[in-house]
Amino acid sequence: MAIIHSIIAELEQEAKTTRRVLERLPDAQWEWKPHEKSFTLGKLAHHVATIPGFFAEVGMVDSFDVANFKRVESANTAEVLQRHDGGLASALKNLATIDDVRALGMWSFAREGKTMVTMPRIAMIRSLLMNHWIHHRGVLTVYLRLLNVPVPPIYGPTADENPFA
C-alpha cells in the first residue's frame, strides 16, 4: 500500500465532517466577523472549502510560488459547497497518482522566486492540506457558535448534537 492511501482515507472521512459544518453556514451573515482582524464568515468558509483541492493541486508540482496565486471568493453557502465537493474530487484524483517515491520527494514553497520552505511532499500534504484544513474548520465552528448556529458533531458530540444518543 502506498503511503498516500492512509491520507486519502483520512481526507474522505474529514471531508464528510467538513461538509456538515459548511452546510450550516448562514448566508445572511456572510460578511460577519468576530473581530476586526478576523476573516469574514464567507472568506473563512471559502478557505475551508478550497484547501484540499488547492493543496492537492500545488502538491503535484515540485515548487509552488505564491505570487502565482489568484484569490477568488464564494458568494454563498451553495457556492462554498460546490467548491468543496469539486475540490475534494480533484484532490482525491490528484493524490491517488502519488506513489511512495513521489510522496517522499521534496516540495518547495516560494514567494516571488525566493524559496521559503522545502519539505517532503507527504509532509506538505499532512501539514498544509490536512492539519491546516482541520484547524480552519475548527475556527469556523467557533464562528457558528458565536452566531448561535448549532454546531454539528465533529469527533463526537457537541453541545448541540449527540450522534450517540
Whole-angstrom distance, CA of residue 64 vs CA of residue 124 = 11
Domain ranges of the chain: 4-146
Q: Are 127 and 133 in contact (CB under 8 A)?
A: no
Mean pLDDT over residues 69-87, rounded? 94
CATH of 4-146, picked from 3.90.600.10, 1.10.3720.10, 3.90.850.10, 1.20.120.450, is 1.20.120.450
Q: Which pLDDT score, from 0 to 100, does residue 21 have?
A: 98
> How is residue 75 written as a grid cell?
458568494
Place of cell 450550516: 24
Q: What is the pLDDT of residues 115-149, one digit of tens each?
A: 999 999 999 999 999 999 999 999 999 999 999 99
Task: Write down the pTM of the prediction.
Answer: 0.94
pLDDT at 163: 86
Strand partners, 109: 64, 117
Confidence of residue 75 (pLDDT cuts 50, 70, 90): very high
Exposure b/e, 76-99, CB count within 10 A at least 16 = b = ebebbbebbeebbeebbebbeebe
Residue 69: the pLDDT is 82
Distance CA 41, CA 128 (A): 21
Q: Bigger pLDDT: 2 or 45?
A: 45
Q: Which of 69, 63, 70, 71 is nearest to 110 (CA)?
A: 63
| pLDDT of amino acid 164 | 87
1, pLDDT greater than 90: no
For the ranges 23-27, 40-44, 66-70, 73-77, which has the lowest average pLDDT?
66-70
